[in-house]
A and B are shown apart, each in its own frame.
Chain A
């Protein structure tokens, strides 16, 4: 299995989303260029049963390679990894994934906070986390941690979000560097 920093700039973008975030991803993903100079990891609140269906659905929306993150998988540039349902997704120092089936956090597994915090530990300033639409307060604590470790925290603008509560919480709690609409998120990713 691919291990270590294979074909990797060492830069990572983690996108967290809940209710209404698929709609945002359906706009963002098709507009992302193929030779992206980072890896994208998507952590969505979802039912555990429709695992492969969601990866398949995202695959139809992008030129990038989409796969469900597997434990010990190496994280490569230009790939979109989807957190599997019913596990927390964590990051190891050798830039591989780990899975964890411990308690739900913010009523969620995968939890966005858990992935943001773990990625911040490993990637530090090479990390950008983006919080999309949702009805849950997950992600805010994680974004704070990302900023403490030198990474960049972005929230989808509440007015562009189907369900504004989740990005709004992050903004109110002073956990973000930038508030971006979908076009700005696309531009940001394509110019990384």
Chain B
């Protein structure tokens, strides 16, 4: 990467995005933000920082691209086989006796994890009494997730992930393929509620038996991480579960005293 914007320029850019559009990135980790902004600058071939800033300030239609490229939307179905095995074998059996199961995917991006969860629930015969809430700060990715439509060429990899994560069924039964895309079954989509929600600025909106927020907190600074943990604490019911990404931990958060880790996976139960 040839261009590298200065700290001051990054501050100025983020400030404009906040003041004009209300997206607050000020408590995001700097290193990743810097890299994402530099990357976007290069991708969109801006001749100078001034023109980049001008575009962000004066072209609201560019904002959605800015937000999408600044935040990381890399995700896949059944990423981390061991994690999904733990969900299937340790967490779902505990939820089985509940009259109703509410699950929140915070930072759902394009929805791959939500559909993975729906498959687990269907195979455990729990989908009919579950609701999956999926939120992201970016309305565009939420709309894509809601469509349930994914590129066909990814299905081979996802099917392999599914099998590695203990899947025993024919993965292709969960979607219908047409041309180069697939759409996941209506039975699954019917159990999902999609909405925008910004972990930085929005509050708790329900109580859940399970909250998944994976590979989102790595992009936040320590203070924001703690605020989000408070938000999750207020949103997970007693004896409910909180699941994080494989390199994220609750270990240093003040709320840890009331949580207990389940096995080796990054899943904690709220004990009190």
Which of B7, B32, B245, B248 has the largest count of A CB atoms less than 10 A from its CB?
Answer: B32
A79 sits at the interface (CB 8 A): no
Report, nearest first, the 4 A-B pairs whose CB atoms are least far apart.
A90-B31, A102-B72, A98-B31, A98-B29
8 Å CB contacts to A: which residues of B1-50?
A: 1, 4, 7, 29-32, 34-36
B205 sits at the interface (CB 8 A): no
- B34: which A residues are within 8 A, CB to CB? 118, 121
Could you tell me if A100 and B32 are in contact, using CB atoms closer than 8 angstroms? yes
| Bound: A145/B34 CA distance, A | 14
Nearest-Cβ distance from residue B164 to partner chain A, whole angstroms: 10
B218 sits at the interface (CB 8 A): yes
Could you tell me if A1 and B252 are in contact, using CB atoms closer than 8 angstroms? yes
Could you tell me if B30 and A100 are in contact, using CB atoms closer than 8 angstroms? no
Partner pick for B30 among A92, A99, A114, A145, CB 8 A cutoff: A92
Could you tell me if A99 and B252 are in contact, using CB atoms closer than 8 angstroms? no
| Bound: A141/B37 CA distance, A | 18
B215 sits at the interface (CB 8 A): yes
B153 sits at the interface (CB 8 A): no
A165 sits at the interface (CB 8 A): no
- B30: which A residues are within 8 A, CB to CB? 92-93, 98
10 new A-B contacts at CB < 8 Å, known A91-B31, A101-B245: A72-B252, A92-B29, A92-B31, A98-B30, A98-B32, A100-B32, A100-B35, A102-B32, A103-B74, A141-B1
Inter-chain contact count A-B, CB under 8 Å? 60
B247 sits at the interface (CB 8 A): yes
A135 sits at the interface (CB 8 A): no
B260 sits at the interface (CB 8 A): no
- A145: which B residues are within 8 A, CB to CB? 1, 4
- Pick 22 A–B contacts, CB within 8 A, sort by A: A70-B249, A71-B247, A71-B248, A72-B222, A86-B246, A90-B31, A90-B32, A92-B31, A93-B7, A98-B30, A99-B247, A100-B32, A100-B72, A100-B218, A100-B219, A101-B72, A102-B36, A102-B72, A117-B1, A118-B34, A118-B35, A121-B34
- A103: which B residues are within 8 A, CB to CB? 74
Residues of B with Cβ closer than 8 Å to A? 1, 4, 7, 29-32, 34-36, 72, 74, 215, 218-219, 222, 245-249, 252
When C-beta atoms are compared, the residue in chain B nearest to A103 turns out to be B74
| Bound: A158/B218 CA distance, A | 37
When C-beta atoms are compared, the residue in chain A nearest to B4 turns out to be A121
8 Å CB contacts to B: which residues of A33-85?
A: 70-72, 84
Nearest-Cβ distance from residue B112 to partner chain A, whole angstroms: 13
Partner pick for B218 among A98, A117, A141, CB 8 A cutoff: A98
| Bound: A41/B22 CA distance, A | 37
When C-beta atoms are compared, the residue in chain A nearest to B69 turns out to be A102
- A101: which B residues are within 8 A, CB to CB? 72, 74, 215, 218, 245
Given contacts A70-B247, A71-B248, A102-B74, contact A122 B222 (CB under 8 A): no
When C-beta atoms are compared, the residue in chain B nearest to A70 turns out to be B247
- A1: which B residues are within 8 A, CB to CB? 252
A180 sits at the interface (CB 8 A): no
When C-beta atoms are compared, the residue in chain B nearest to A94 turns out to be B30
Nearest-Cβ distance from residue A51 to partner chain B, whole angstroms: 9
